[in-house]
Amino acid sequence: MNKSILYIIGTILIVLVAGTVLIKGNGDSGGNAIVGGSGGDVQKIVLGIKDYNYYPNTVTVKVNKPVSISLDSTVSGCYRSFTIRDFGINKYLKTPKDTVEFTPTKKGTYRFACSMGMGTGTLVVE
Amino acid sequence: MTFKEFNKSLAEDGAEGELVKTVFVSLATSFVVLAILYIFKLKYIENFIPKYGFYLFFAILSYSLILPSIRHVRAYKELPCMAGMMIGMTMGMISGFLAGFFVASTNGMFIGSVFGMLVGIVFGVLTGKCCGIMGVMEGIMSGFMGGLMGGMTSIMLLNDNLKATGVIVFIISAVILIGLNYLIHKETREIERRHRDSNLFIISWSFALTVITVVLMVFGPRSSLFQ
C-alpha cells in the first residue's frame, strides 16, 4: 500500500481516538442552579455601574434560595447583557424591570460578567 | 499546474510528499506528550477534560497543520518576493489567530493574545524570511495582528457558541493552509529543493508547542473572568 495512504489512515485514527477522549462533557462546569426558580424568600439584587464595572462588585447570597438580579438605569451597552457562565445564565436585561432569576444549589464563588467580559463581579453563594 | 497535480504530488517523494507524513508525526508526538502529561499530572486536576479537552484538541490539530507548511517553505529556502510575502502573512496570521483563540478560551484575552502574538510572529518570521526583509516584516505584522484578533474573538464569543466558532475557525484555517501549500508548490516548480528537515524538527516543535499550551492553559495566569 502507498505510504501516503498509510499516513492518512494513521492521522485519521489518531484524530478520531484523541477527539473521542478529549471532546466530551461541558466546559462550563462549576456551579449548579435552577434557572427561573422561585418560591420562598427571593433574594433581590440590583446592580449598577461604578468605576466602569458592576456595583456592588461582590454579592453574597444564600444557597437554595431564589435569587433575582436586575440592572438599574446606570447600566448601559454590553453591560446589560448579563451572564453567569457557571449557571448557564445569559440574558439581555433591556430595562431595569427585567430580571434574571435562578436558585443556586451549590455553595461556592462564581463570576458574573457582561457578555463580552468587559464588566465582571463575584457572586458568593454560602 | 492544477490542484489535481498537487494532490498527486502528495503521494510522491519530495517536499510535497512529506506533508502528510509531517501531519501524522506532529499529531502522534503531540498526543503522546499529552497522554504522558495526563497520566503523571493532569488526571489529578479536577474537570481537566471537560474544561480543557476541546480547546487542547483543536490547538494540537492546528499545530499539526501549521508545521507542515513551515517544513514545506524551509525545503526551498528562497522564493519569489510576492510569494514570500504571502507566505509570511498567511503563516503569521493563521498561526497567531489559532493559538490566540484557543488559549484565550481558557485563560482570557491577555494571555491568549500574548501567546498568539508570540506564535504568530515566530512562525511568520520563520516562513517570511524566504524572501528577505519584506517577508519578515509581513510575518511580524500579521503575527501581531492574528494573535490579538484570535484572543479578542474568543472573548467576544465566550457566551455565544464559542466551541462551534472554534470548529468553524479551524476548518477555515485548514482550507487556507492547504491553499498555502498549493501556492508554495506552484511557485517552486522551477526551484530546486535546497534543504531537508528531519522528523526531529517536527517532533521538537510539536513537543514544545504542546507542552507550552498545556502549561499555559492549566497552570498559566488567567484574567478575572476565568478565576
Q: pLDDT tens, A87-106?
A: 888 888 989 999 999 999 88
Q: Do A22 and B10 touch (CB under 8 A)?
A: no
A9 touches chain B (CB under 8 A): no
A19 touches chain B (CB under 8 A): yes
CA atoms of A119 and A87, how far apart (whole Å): 17
Could you identify the residue written with the cell 497567531?
B96
* Nearest CA-CA distance, residue B196 and chain A, Å: 18
In this prediction, residue B125 carries a pLDDT of 95
- Per-residue CA distances from B170 to B18, B101, B102, B124, B178 (Å): 22, 10, 10, 18, 12
CA atoms of B155 and A104, how far apart (whole Å): 25
* Nearest CA-CA distance, residue B81 and chain A, Å: 31
* Nearest CA-CA distance, residue B82 and chain A, Å: 31
Q: Who among B23, B54, B158 is closest to A22 (CB)?
A: B54
Rounded to an integer, the average pLDDT of B168-176 is 96
SS3 label, residue A105: coil
Instruction: Give the Cβ contact number of residue B135 at 10 Å.
Output: 28
SS3 label, residue B196: coil
Residue A42: which of A82, A71, A70, A84 has the closest Cα?
A70
Residues of B with CB under 8 A from a CB of A: 10-11, 17, 20-21, 23-24, 27-28, 31, 34, 47, 49-57, 60-61, 108-109, 155-156, 158-160, 163, 223-227
* Nearest CA-CA distance, residue B91 and chain A, Å: 22
Q: Read off the pLDDT of residues B95-124 as tens digits, 9 standing for 90 and up.
A: 999 999 999 999 988 999 999 999 999 999
Residues in chain B: 227
Cβ proximity of A71 and A82 under 8 Å: yes
Cβ proximity of B72 and B184 under 8 Å: yes
Chain A neighbors of B53, CB-CB under 8 A: 21-25, 27
* Nearest CA-CA distance, residue A79 and chain B, Å: 13
Task: Give residue limits of the domains in chain A.
Answer: 32-125
Rounded to 5 degrees, what angle do the CA atoms B110, B116, B119 make? 140
The answer, yes or no, to whether residue B54 has pLDDT greater than 50, is yes
Pick among A14, A20, A120, A123 to test the B interface (most B CBs inside 10 A): A14
Q: Do A11 and B60 touch (CB under 8 A)?
A: no
Out of A28-42, A74-88, B46-60, B68-82, which region has the weakest mean confidence (pLDDT)? A28-42
Chain B neighbors of A19, CB-CB under 8 A: 57
Residue A47 banded pLDDT, cuts 50, 70, 90: very high
Cβ proximity of B58 and B170 under 8 Å: yes
Q: Read off the pLDDT of residues B32-41 as tens digits, 9 standing for 90 and up.
A: 999 999 999 9
Q: Which residue of B has its CA nearest to A84?
A: B159
How much of chain B is helix, strand and coil, in % rounded to 5?
80, 0, 20
Tell me which of 3.30.428.10, 2.60.40.420, 3.30.470.20, 3.40.50.300 is the CATH number of domain A32-125.
Answer: 2.60.40.420
Q: Read off the pLDDT of residues B209-221 as tens digits, 9 standing for 90 and up.
A: 999 999 999 999 9
Q: Which residue of B has its CA nearest to A91?
A: B159
Rounded to an integer, the average pLDDT of B139-161 is 91
Cβ proximity of B63 and B206 under 8 Å: yes
The answer, yes or no, to whether residue A27 has pLDDT greater than 80, is no
Task: Give residue limits of the domains in chain B.
Answer: 33-222
CA atoms of B32 and B220, how far apart (whole Å): 22
Q: Which residue of A has its CA nearest to B47?
A: A29
**C-alpha cell, A116:** 463580552
- Under DSSP, the state recorded for A93 is -
- pTM, full prediction: 0.82
**C-alpha cell, B206:** 510539536
CA atoms of B118 and B114, how far apart (whole Å): 6
